[in-house]
Structure 1
Amino acid sequence: MIDIVSYRPIHAAAWRSLNEDWLRAGGYALEAKDQLVLSDPQGVILDRGGHIFIAERDGAPVGCCSLMAMADGGFEVGKMAVTEGARGLNLGWRLLEACEAVARGQGAPRLYLETNAAQTHAIALYRRFGFVDLPPQPTPYARCNVWMEKPL
């Protein structure tokens, strides 16, 4: 059984390893903002009005996604990761649904995300979920070359 739950401090190690694993598997460096977000999710995301969702299979974390509050009232979807053994179980979609439900509940005008063109499966998921491409935006990530949003 798979549940999407809100982040708790017991998820800290899984939060970090899920994200470090996908970044390394993609050939990406752990950048300064990655280090900050992964080492202090409470201070950097949750205490600033954001949310983190963890996908658990039989109580074990197998996926995650964050929702970071933005200055315009929207939320940035970030740090989405699913373990290789849990891929194909529709977890990405379910994590996005959790993000959208919270954002809509708080009256957010949009969801926003940044990714890399090599993440073809993720980009296809985002498009199916209603995200559209944006022109380049300012970003702290060297790996980012695709920007998307979903108006709510």
Structure 2
Amino acid sequence: MIQPQIEIVPFEPHLREHFYALNAAWLKKHFVIEPIDEQVLRNPEQMVLEPGGAIFFARLGDVVIGTCALLHEAPGVYELSKMGVDEAFRGLGAGRLLLDAAIAEFHRRGGDALFLESSSILKPALHMYEQAGFVLQPTIRAGSHYARADVYMIYAPK
């Protein structure tokens, strides 16, 4: 029997519920869903896509197992955000494929700066970000939207 491959696909309206559910799962497990999360997760077209961002999903066969967003903050400036992989499917490489897709989209759009905010308790994610070329900054990002964010990283591949 052939094992299904993980496929990365862009946002489609019928996938909206997965964007919310996958992110709500990790947020509720480790933190709380903050008002900014609720806004973005419930309105991905208005909050992510219309301002010039992108959303990707990882699919294994017919099952959506992960998601991430590339938020357009300002001309040339993007934020990697809302990355989550279903716990039952972690360790298969879906997170890295999503991360690589977001970075590729950043480059495709000619972006100048890519950053992310995270939490120091999410150690496996932070390690993955470092492997992909994100560099830990000495302080949190000025004007951070997230109460949980105590990590600020900037994409600076070698």
TM-score by length of 1: 0.95
The answer to whether the aligner puts 1:130 opposite 2:136 as a matched pair is: no
Amino acid at match of 1:145: D
Counterpart CA distance in 2 for 1:143 and 1:136 is 11
1:69 is paired with a residue whose SS is strand
How many residues align? The count is 151
In the other structure, the counterpart of 2:26 is 22
Corresponding residue SS for 2:25: helix
Contact 2:67 2:83 in 1 (8 A): yes
> Which position in structure 2 is the counterpart of 1:141?
146
Computed over aligned residues only, the root mean square deviation of the Cα atoms, in angstroms, reads: 1.1
Tell me if structure 2 keeps the 8 A contact 1:68–1:75: yes
Gaps of 5+ in 2: none
User: Is this contact kept in 1: 2:140–2:149, CA < 8 A?
Assistant: no
* Equivalent runs, 1:93-104 vs 2, <5 Å: 93-104=96-107
Match of 1:54 among 53, 57, 76: 57
CA distance in 2, matches of 1:61, 1:17: 10
Q: Percent identity?
A: 34
Q: How does 1:85-100 map to 2 (within 5 A)?
A: 85-100=88-103
Secondary structure in structure 2 of the residue aligned to 1:108: coil
Give the aligned partner of residue 70 of structure 2. 67
2:12 pairs with one of 8, 25, 38: 8
Counterpart of 2:144 in 1: which secondary structure?
coil
SS of residue matched to 2:129: helix
Stretches of structure 1 that go unaligned for 5 or more consecutive residues are: none
CA deviation after TM superposition for structure 1 residue 85, in Å = 1.4
- In structure 2, what is the equivalent of residue 40 of structure 1? 43
Task: Give me the whole-angstrom Cα distance separating, in 2, the residues matched to 1:102 and 1:70.
Answer: 15
